[in-house]
Structure 1
Amino acid sequence: MQDPHDLVGLIAYSLYKRQKLDFVDAHQSEHGCKPTADELRVFYQLVNMPDQIEALRTRSATLLEQVSEVVLEEALQEMQKDFQARLLSELKTPKNFWRAVGENVLANLVAAGLVTLALVMFYLSQVEVVPAVGNALGYEVTPKPQK
């Protein structure tokens, strides 16, 4: 590990240290003594092989990903609870009577305008538009003779 901000590397290093402690404990259990310098050197050589280092980094990345997923899931659940609580609070709070009346009047005016627009569009699709507009404005529109 060379970068002190390399989180995957830091976790890999802690896994390596755990392996070293397990090796020392296992050696002490089997042989009744701590490993010699030569035995530790063999351990270091095995653990520092590129494949072993890559395996530690892969395991570290997997652990970090799993922890991140748990943390994000907990944060999401907390946000959902907060949102639901605020939503229930808003729904339980009664609206001002006149504000509610104004919102309903506005919604009905918009709906009536959309229906009127749809009817006008339908009517204009049934008749020729240019003569209808001319008649509405008080002009006589005569169609061009077709060739």
Structure 2
Amino acid sequence: MEEIANNSPNTIYSDLVSSEDDILGIIAYSVYKRQKISHLESSKVGATSLQELASTPEQQDFYRQQAIGLLDNFAKLYLEEDMQDRDIVFQDKISELETSYTNKLREFKPSFWSGVWQSVVGAFVFVLCMGVLVFTLWAWKQGIVSAVEVAFDVTITKNPEPVLK
């Protein structure tokens, strides 16, 4: 049997890798190669016994499962690192936008003294409007002539008829 294995071509690669784009198969083959090197270093037995073992469907499934585990770990590590990088970029962008909007809001916010002057002018205008309103209502009740006489302390007389010459 060993003689047949030595004379037959090694079909492990074609058994594990179905095409050039079969990443999982390529990784499974690398797992096989790693196991083969380890086997050759640790034992005096030739490579044929390992090739016979590697040719079994169970062992090939083992290689594929190992490849799946390696790809899964790689994907997890890569995605974790990618998410951390994206989170850092996202946080930097948020900080940049917060700073930008804060500076823009400060441009529109009036100063303290500007607010005080607005309040003083507003109070003065309010009192003036209320005074005009109260005077108008009082004058309407009293009559315009008597309201003007009382408000300005004057006497309004009717003009005599002009004398024609």
> Following the alignment from structure 1 to structure 2, what is the Cα–Cα distance between the partners of residues 52 and 92?
60
Query: How far, CA to CA, are the matches of 1:62 and 1:20 in structure 2?
Result: 19
Give the match for residue 54 of structure 2.
Answer: 47
User: 1:22 maps to which residue?
Assistant: 38
Secondary structure of the 1:2 match is coil
For 2:60 and 2:30, how far apart are their aligned partners in 1?
12
Normalised TM-score (structure 2): 0.51
Letter of the 1:54 counterpart: D
Q: Look up the match of 2:123.
A: none
The match for 2:97 among 84, 90, 94 is 90
Which residue in the other structure is 2:27 paired with? Answer: 11
CA distance in 2, matches of 1:88, 1:21: 53
Equivalent-residue separation in structure 1 for 2:87 and 2:52 (angstroms): 50
Structure 1 position 2, deviation (Å) = 2.4
Q: State the 1:42 CA deviation.
A: 2.0
Residue correspondences, number: 91
The separation in 2 between residues aligned to 1:40 and 1:81, in whole angstroms, is 50
TM-score of the superposition, structure 1-length normalised?
Answer: 0.57
Larger of the two Rg values belongs to structure: 2
Shift in Å at residue 40 of structure 1?
A: 2.3
Give aligned-pair identity as a percent.
26
RMSD: 1.9
